[in-house]
Amino acid sequence: VAGFVSSTSTTQSLAQKSKKTGVVNYLVGAALLANMSSFLQVFLLVGPLNGRWLISILPSLLMMVVSATVLAILFLRKKEKITDVSETETKEGKIFSLIPALKFAILLLTIKLVTKICLILFGQSGFVVSSIIASLAGLDAVLVNLAEMAGVAITFKFALITFLLVNATNLLSKSAYSYFQGNRKFALNFFLSSGVVVLASFVGLIFFK
């Protein structure tokens, strides 16, 4: 559920828990499930905007979902000694806040403007680089931008390749966050798992039509 809200924040939180508790396998499995749910979210983001592009990215998307789920199950099934840690966390949160929505709107407008300028000035390479940089801040706004431009300003295949590259960058950035904020073993396992998911996503290119 947390992955639908923010897979990056969830991964960071789980990485921090791995450092405090020493637990690795269960937390890596949970992080992979959070990211898997963020892949499912792509259907909700892209579908209403560009159904044709959603169909073209479906093979890669399914490969990502399946690979992340299988890896998560493998980690969750590993036996691990858990240290009993009494930790009380009290967080008060609002059901709805206008600030995150405004931030997303500003980020989306910025990404639209920058990527289109880069596409005009530097061609496809400029568009890809600017999209990759934007994905470090989050994937949702980049996806919305790609869905709106696919089949209009850029081809479906180019949009798919860009999506795979920004997803890879986003996953690797989470691995970096995990390394600095969590247990080293957690970071290594999450990095290797992310690599498998990325490779699986590119396998989906074989089925592109």
Q: Is 50 exposed, middle or buried (0-12, 13-18, 19+ CB in 10 A)?
A: buried
Q: What is the pLDDT of residue 108?
A: 58
193 in Cβ contact with 71 (< 8 Å): yes
Give the three-state DSSP class for 27.
Answer: helix
Write out pLDDT tens, residues 57-85: 999 999 999 999 999 999 999 877 665 54
What is the pTM assigned to this prediction?
0.81
In this prediction, residue 91 has a pLDDT band, given cuts at 50, 70 and 90, of very low
User: Pick the residue with more confidence: 120 or 57?
Assistant: 57
Write out pLDDT tens, residues 33-42: 999 999 998 9
Q: Per-residue pLDDT for 5 more than 60?
A: yes
What letter represents residue 179's amino acid? Y
| pLDDT mean across residues, the chain | 84
Structure tokens at 194: 């992310």
What is the distance of C-alpha 32 from the center of its chain?
A: 10
